């Protein structure tokens, strides 16, 4: 009798785990269902940037703002508020957001249609504005804000 009870409990526990996982997936999907189409587009753009970057994925300032929102959602905090005291240019803020999304220099260069060396120079200018030392990593700093 004890073996039957143990098997029954194991079956119930397994089924409970399955249902819990399905509920979590449903909750995640329902959050996306309430999401405006513009933010869904921004999510797809971020995914494309990670998988197949190309120049022109993000076409206008509205799309940039939506991408900023998505990156803030996924990576925490509002980066633009955290950096507002440093008077970064719009292009520098875009670069910071792309760094926050953990995109490599080559991907950022493709997106901006510049060389990876130009990305490094831009990062150095941002480091100077943020008063980071030469040994500090801009990428690490941006990702930890």
Task: Enter the tokens of residue 103.
Answer: 């995109």
17 and 45 within one domain: no
Decide if 145 contacts 77 (C-beta within 8 A). yes
Domain with 23, as residue range(s), is: 1-33
Burial of 139 by CB count in 10 Å (0-12 exposed, 13-18 middle, 19+ buried)?
middle
Query: What would the pLDDT profile of 15-46 be if each residue is shown by its tens digit?
Result: 777 777 776 665 655 555 667 888 889 999 99
Helix (H) or strand (E) holding 47: helix 37-51
Query: What would the pLDDT profile of 99-125 be if each residue is shown by its tens digit?
Result: 999 999 999 999 999 999 999 999 999
Is the entire prediction scored with pTM above 0.85? no
Cα Rg of the chain (Å, integer): 21
Note the pLDDT of residue 5.
73
39 and 20 within one domain: no
Residue 89 has pLDDT above 90, yes or no: yes
104 and 74 within one domain: yes
Decide if 66 contacts 39 (C-beta within 8 A). yes
Note the pLDDT of residue 17.
79
**Number of domains forming the structure of the chain:** 2
74 and 12 within one domain: no
12 and 29 within one domain: yes
């Amino acid at each position: 009798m004890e073996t039957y009870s143990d098997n029954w409990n194991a079956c119930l526990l397994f089924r409970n785990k399955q249902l819990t996982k399905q509920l979590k997936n449903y909750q995640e999907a329902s959050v996306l269902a309430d999401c405006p189409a513009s933010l869904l587009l921004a999510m797809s753009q971020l995914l494309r940037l990670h998988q197949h970057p190309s120049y022109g994925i993000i076409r206008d300032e509205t799309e940039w703002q939506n991408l900023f929102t998505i990156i803030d959602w996924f990576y925490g905090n509002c980066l633009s508020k955290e950096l507002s005291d440093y008077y970064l240019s719009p292009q520098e803020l875009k670069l910071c957001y792309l760094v926050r999304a953990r995109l490599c220099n080559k991907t950022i260069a493709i997106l901006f249609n510049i060389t990876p060396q130009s990305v490094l120079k831009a990062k150095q200018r941002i480091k100077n504005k943020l008063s980071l030392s030469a040994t500090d990593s801009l990428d690490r700093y941006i990702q930890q804000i």
